[in-house]
Amino acid sequence: MAEEELERKNFENLVWFYQDELISLNNGKRANTLFSKGLRQRMMSLGVLVYKKGRADLKYLLSQTAQNLLNSISSAQMSSS
Distances (CA, A) of 18 to 1, 10, 11, 38: 26, 12, 11, 14
> 2-16: per-residue pLDDT in tens?
888 998 999 999 999
CB 26 within 8 Å of CB 62 = yes
Which ranges of the chain does DSSP label H, i.e. alpha helix? 2-17, 19-26, 31-34, 37-46, 64-80
Longest dimension (CA), the chain: 42
Q: Could you tell me the pLDDT band of residue 81, with boundaries at 50, 70 and 90?
A: low
Check whether 79 has a pLDDT greater than 90.
no
pLDDT in tens, 20-39: 999 999 998 999 999 999 99
Which neighbouring-strand residues pair with 53? 58
Tell me the backbone φ, ψ of residue 56, rounded to 5 degrees: -100, -25
